[in-house]
Structure 1
Amino acid sequence: MKQSPPRVKVCIPYYESLPEPAVMLNEHLIRSGIPGYLVILSKRQTAIITFSRNELADANDGFDYDYIFFVDSDVGYSEEEMNRPVQLNFDGRKIVVAKIIAQMKQILDHGLNICGGFYCSRKAPYAPMVFKKNPADPMGYVSIADFPDSGVHEIDAIGTGFLCIKRPVIEAFHSRARERLAMAENARKAVQLIGEALEGQPEKKQHLSRIAEYIETANPGAYPPFWLDAFYQPEKRAWRNVGEDIYFCREAQKMGYKLYCDFQIQLGHMTTRFIKPEIYKGTHQAAFVEVLKKAQMAEEAFKIAAGDSK
């Protein structure tokens, strides 16, 4: 029995005016004749993309999707590359589509829970937007400086600019948020009851107020469940700033999901020009690797000084 093509919600967050590549992508999807795509846009009121990502993932648009596919308005190709015709097999026949459509389908065909294309940061030294965990920092990540040129590889985190996410992952985030809300509400009720029992004991009530403060601060109901720009560190009672991509990937891994990058799909990142992976490899990779080595040496020296070396 022939399978129906996946239903894909293509999410394009943008800031200020809608960029031409986003308009072209929508047109290419329509022209391709491939069914099951819905393009939705989210105009950001600020330069912070986190709000748009949450809004798009959480949108109740009535579309019964199988995948969410983020295509950031500043990630992709030049107009010439985007329009380049590519032949692919679809529904037992060969069709010609724009390059970006073929590469979206390539990622979808992997059938993975979380998989994206490869691109670099748009700021020098144009570090790769694929990451591995930093052994020296349990909550930290570092770019994979020497990345492969092809193949699908598991990584610890990836930029969300060209990322495909299966629906069960989104639903798992929703479910976890509901559970945490219920736990936080139960904890608040418990603190209230204990507080009533401790009337007349100011020292104990002061300690209890600190517990209540932590519950309020760590309560996930105050923000959407998918993307955040920071982690809360309970032991420090403080927030640690990170990119929203890292937050999403870290939380997905905690729930047991693996993340992948298809390194054959190499995209540009728009600034005043398209920053392509070859720019990083050609002029910045060696310097970036050297920076990472120095950072690692400094960390090892610190451990030796602290008496932590084996």
Structure 2
Amino acid sequence: MIGERWGRGLLVAVVLLAVLVGCTDAPPTPPPAAPVQPAAPQPFPDAIGPHGPTVSSDPTALAREIDAAQATIADPARSPREVAAAARTAQVAYEELAFHPERLAPVLAALPPGPADVTNRIVTAGRDLLAMAKGAPGDELPAWRIAEPLPPDRLRALYAGAEARFGVPWHILAAVNLVESRMGRIASHSEAGARGPMQFMPSTWASYGLGGNVEDPHDAILGAANYLQANGADTATGLDRALRRYNNDQRYVRAVRAYADVMAADERAFLAFHAWEVYFRTTSGRVHLPVGYDEPRAVRADEYLARTGAPR
């Protein structure tokens, strides 16, 4: 959130993870032991369900699921539908490991070196974001509206246009968009009053928004690029400082840089991040907030699940 500490809206949006290779602050990957066989093509479920995809609790089986998902995402021959389904499965797998770090080591030991390194970095970034949360999950779902994000090709073009104008790398803008609003899926103000897909405080938007509409993805991405450039993000040495101005927490900086690095290394990762859904951790477990979720006030998770006919 630009200008102030983030509110709960942004916080819970990002606890569902973010990815990354190339994050220099991630701990080293332990040597793999008894790695799984190379991932074979496999279908991933299209149906998301009230709690998201189900992943295995067995380390070797979970390693196979992660390895297969990463292989699907990286394969240009796979359809957008297949990539999105694989990305959603990987998202939940990384989240489970971030919430249960004691499960990480055996999963890493069962993965080949490359996927193990990626997984270790993803989960470490997720732990950074979780560390920014306050308190244990409660029994309520938030007063949010969940919207369909712009298609990935349109968002990618917006990032490119902002990069051309302000010199801020497209993958940095995409990573901020991912962390702040799940690339526009969370179409609600934060508790602190930040607005739009890039989560601007009104006073900051007045200075850097270029007269645009803070809720419009085109205008918001340009405004974010303007703000970051003004704080030095168009230079290698100034980028961390600019991100720290965006949100004054080094864990936030590490997470954004990590997501950006993985997209810079393999642009297909952007397609995976774009497919990530919105989940909310409650005492009723992880609850999927689908496109069309629109609650004007906080609602008890068990009541919402009962109302929607979902199993608890």
User: TM-score, with normalisation over the residues of structure 2?
Assistant: 0.27
Q: Answer 1 or 2: which has greater helix percent.
A: 2
Higher relative contact order (CA 8 A, sep 6+): 2
Q: Larger C-alpha radius of gyration, 1 or 2?
A: 1
Q: TM-score normalised to the size of structure 1?
A: 0.27
